[in-house]
Amino acid sequence: MKKYTYSAKRSDNKEKWCIIDATDKVLGRIASQVASRIRGKNNPLFTPHADTGDWVIVINADKIRLTGNKLDQKRYYRHTGYMGGIKSITARELLEKKPEELLRKAVKGMLPKNPLGRKLNTKLHVYTGNDHPHASQKPEIVDI
């Protein structure tokens, strides 16, 4: 009698596309749900070392909310590569300039920091309005 733990492969997963509407949703709560769905934790085939997740389309990213004083106090940092080249931007400024980056950065921070995480990060598509170019994939609407 064989006794072993089943380990899913990427080919075992029937990848689905889903749409999530971010209108009036809190950034951290929606980001954790998106990261979990991209990782495949809602799938019974979940395997930590394999890509068993779904493709996620987030619409209305410009209507996302942040609680408390995070709009003015939360800062995002980057470095130019030159000495003294650290740059920062507040969440309010980032929401005005590139609202899709706010959600993209939050989800990226919740994915694994390895080659699998970088691959999973490509399964996220964020758009500011209601329109998206993925109608041919027949995505299903997911309510969070």
Q: What pLDDT shows up at residue 40?
A: 94
Instruction: Please spell the DSSP secondary structure of 58-100, one letter per residue.
Output: EE-GGG-B--TTHHHH-EEEEE-SSTT-EEEEEHHHHHHH-HH
Q: What pLDDT shows up at residue 80?
A: 97
pLDDT in tens, the chain (144 residues): 677 888 888 888 888 999 999 999 999 999 999 999 999 999 999 999 999 999 999 999 999 999 999 999 999 999 999 999 999 999 999 999 999 999 999 999 999 999 999 999 999 999 999 999 999 999 999 998
Q: Which domains does the chain have, with CATH numbers?
A: 15-66+99-141 (3.90.1180.10)
Rounded distance between C-alpha atoms, residue 55 and residue 123, angstroms: 5
Question: pTM for this one?
Answer: 0.91
Amino acid in the structure at residue 131: D
Q: How many CB atoms lie within 10 A of CB 140?
A: 10
Q: Which of 12, 78, 4, 70 is nearest to 40 (CA)?
A: 12
Rounded distance between C-alpha atoms, residue 142 and residue 62, angstroms: 18
Q: What pLDDT shows up at residue 114?
A: 96
